[in-house]
Homo-oligomer: A and B are copies of this chain.
Amino acid sequence: MFNFTPTTASIPPANNTLRLKPLPNALPNYQPLSPLAFILRAALIYPEKIALIHTDVPFPVAYNFATWAQRIQNLAYALIKFGIKPGDSVAILAPNCPMIADAHHGVIAARAIVTPINTRLKPSEVAYILDHSQAKLLLVDHEYLHLVEGTTVPMIISKDTGRMDDPYEVFLAEGRYFSKEAGWQGLDTEPDENASAVLCYTSGTTGRPKGVITSLRGNYLAALANAFEGRMDRHSTYLWILPMFHAAGWTFPYANVFSFATQVTLRTVNYTHIWNHILRSGVTHYCAAPTVQIGIVNDPQAQQPKQSVTAIIAGAAPTAHLIAELEKKGIKPVHFPSAIRETYGPFTRNYEQESWGPLSLDDRARLMARQGHAFATAEEVRVVYQQENESDPLQDVPRDGKTMGEIITRGNIVMKEYFRDPDATRKAFAGGSFHSGDLAVMHADGSVAIMDRSKDIIISGGEVRLYPNLAGSTLTYPESMQNASSLAIEQELVTHPHVLEASVVARPHVKWGERPMAFVVLHPQHAASWHGRHQTFASELKAHAKTRLPGFACPEWVEVVPELPKTSTGKILKTELRKIVAKL
């Protein structure tokens, strides 16, 4: 089917001991939690099973768990030989490919910090992250060298070939040679389960990106939760659509290995490749943000797969419409929303109820679009507001499905800190919980439903008052639903069969202060029929909205656009839409 040609340095010796070096004076009944345990177990129990497949490239490769574990070990030794010390940051600038998958395990095997960098950033932003993270080494994919011209950080370049002459493979081979075949027993085990493991930067749409530090313990527990909640096991095949650099792949680099799943890496979000793998590589699981999911279900190649496929939706709130569309394609949507870097990715899950069974697909999808409850190994999720007196504790909103507050959480899958930024850490952890910046309501069943990011709310009439404790900034707090949730409006706009995607932002209004403006992308099948008649469509869509939304929430303006501005991870850039609005 494809080449399977690991370099000689990747082939493990017959007497390979797949066990971490015992800690000095280790207690018989305590082992620091570390996701590094997963690759060792997988290589021991399923050595011949395919761990990693990378095919849509000129030099396809596949590694079984035994070989992959050896490559990870080689990487750890190579880093140590290079001079990486425990606690050092090792940056990775790469799309989904074996190198970044290796790094998630190999870097922590060297007791260093995995620091993946978003490949869609500008050179100046990459430079800022390299500097701020104090990266000692950069593992960089050949396609992204232009982003790091002139950097003083030493680099190892991967041509993503897996061949002997690839500089990354030479680096691994040097690691193997340097190891003198001491194997895993030659690598020191990290004694502290709270040691820093991964450093991911926020996209920094406002201000400088912040570095989110997560721990070994947190990654271990979040990975277990993702594997359990996703019902993954050794029969699973996970397709890497979500970039691994994005919040370190929501701990799926570890959850997949814990489950003994096969991972398929895709360098780009290419719908032909995606459908090819879903229909022909037996993919059972993938993660993607809602906008990418929209692209997947609307692709002309979409058809019902033979196997059961679970689509893990996170990164932003999906519309009920999208959930229904996925189900129609035979893909089981699981909503692990509220996925943010600061919580290792998902920290809530929408838990389906038996009582939803008899509901219509539309009604059920509306319930499934809620963010739900705290995840398996997460602790409490609360929706709170600040009381009159700022020194009073945060108050939970009533469970009425309409009073908005901010989602806060705490527990083992909350980040350690913002790296080298005690001020931001202190603000984010105000009152002993992590402030997500998501505005939400709590329903009677205790489930949360995000209404908006705090910065996206539209103050369209209604009372407002100051809500000073939202994460890191002073914002107005909407007292009632008279203030329109942009997400609630988007949910309804996309129910129009000719709308592919919609994004709503606030636009100043003389009478109301603010009113909603919608940017919509037409469905490819219907775009031609509205060609030259976008104003007519705008009127039709406004009429459609009036049948489904209260007056104050109906968009005052509708603009048909060919596409929406998005981040590399598929999040809609409302900041760009606001810039457009500002010029109107």
Known A44-B446, A46-B351, A373-B45; judge A412-B231 contact (CB<8 A): no
Known A44-B373, A373-B41, A374-B41; judge A412-B380 contact (CB<8 A): no
**Nearest chain B CB to A382 CB, angstrom units:** 8
Contact with A376, one of B258, B379, B414 (Cβ below 8 angstroms): B258
Per-residue CB proximity of A422-434 to B under 8 Å, as 1/0?
Answer: 0000000100111
Task: Say whether B29 contacts A415, CB under 8 Å.
Answer: yes
Query: A27 to B428, alpha carbons, bound, how many Å?
Result: 12
Q: Which residues of B contact A374 (CB under 8 A)?
A: 41
Q: Which residues of B contact A353 (CB under 8 A)?
A: 46
A411 at interface (Cβ–Cβ under 8 A)?
A: yes
Contact with A414, one of B29, B33, B410, B434 (Cβ below 8 angstroms): B29
**Nearest chain B CB to A261 CB, angstrom units:** 13
Known A380-B19, A432-B26; judge A228-B224 contact (CB<8 A): yes
Query: A429 to B231, alpha carbons, bound, how many Å?
Result: 35
Task: Say whether B28 contacts A414, CB under 8 Å.
Answer: yes
Known A44-B373, A376-B258, A380-B19; judge A412-B228 contact (CB<8 A): no
**Nearest chain B CB to A376 CB, angstrom units:** 7
Task: Say whether B228 contacts A411, CB under 8 Å.
Answer: no
Question: In chain A between 243 and 301, which residues have their CB closer than 8 angstroms to a CB of chain B?
Answer: 258
Which of the listed residues A354, A355, A380, A434 has the most CB atoms from chain B within 10 Å of its own CB? A380
Known A224-B228, A228-B227, A228-B228; judge A26-B410 contact (CB<8 A): yes
Query: A27 to B41, alpha carbons, bound, how many Å?
Result: 32
A544 at interface (Cβ–Cβ under 8 A)?
A: no
Closest B residue to A232 using CB positions: B228
A233 at interface (Cβ–Cβ under 8 A)?
A: yes
Query: A224 to B410, alpha carbons, bound, how many Å?
Result: 20
Which of the listed residues A27, A227, A228 has the most CB atoms from chain B within 10 Å of its own CB? A228
Question: In chain A between 128 and 165, which residues have their CB closer than 8 angstroms to a CB of chain B?
Answer: none
A49 at interface (Cβ–Cβ under 8 A)?
A: yes
A405 at interface (Cβ–Cβ under 8 A)?
A: no
A302 at interface (Cβ–Cβ under 8 A)?
A: no
**Nearest chain B CB to A472 CB, angstrom units:** 15
Query: A351 to B43, alpha carbons, bound, how many Å?
Result: 13
- How large, as a class, is the contact surface on chain A? 35 or more
Closest B residue to A435 using CB positions: B28
A468 at interface (Cβ–Cβ under 8 A)?
A: no
Contact with A29, one of B26, B47, B434 (Cβ below 8 angstroms): B434
**Nearest chain B CB to A211 CB, angstrom units:** 15
Of all A-B residue pairs in the complex, the 4 with the closest CB atoms, nearest first, are A29-B414, A31-B411, A28-B429, A28-B410
Apart from A29-B411, A31-B379, A231-B231, 16 more pairs, CB < 8 Å: A18-B446, A27-B432, A28-B433, A29-B434, A30-B194, A30-B411, A30-B412, A31-B410, A31-B412, A44-B446, A45-B372, A45-B373, A46-B351, A48-B355, A224-B377, A258-B376
Which residues of A does B touch, CB under 8 Å? Answer: 18-19, 22, 25-31, 33, 37, 41, 44-49, 194, 215, 218, 224, 227-228, 231, 233-234, 258, 351, 353-355, 372-374, 376-377, 379-380, 410-412, 414-417, 429, 432-434, 445-446
Q: Can you list 10 residue pairs at the A/B interface with Cβ under 8 Å?
A: A26-B432, A29-B434, A44-B446, A48-B355, A49-B354, A224-B228, A224-B376, A224-B377, A234-B351, A258-B376
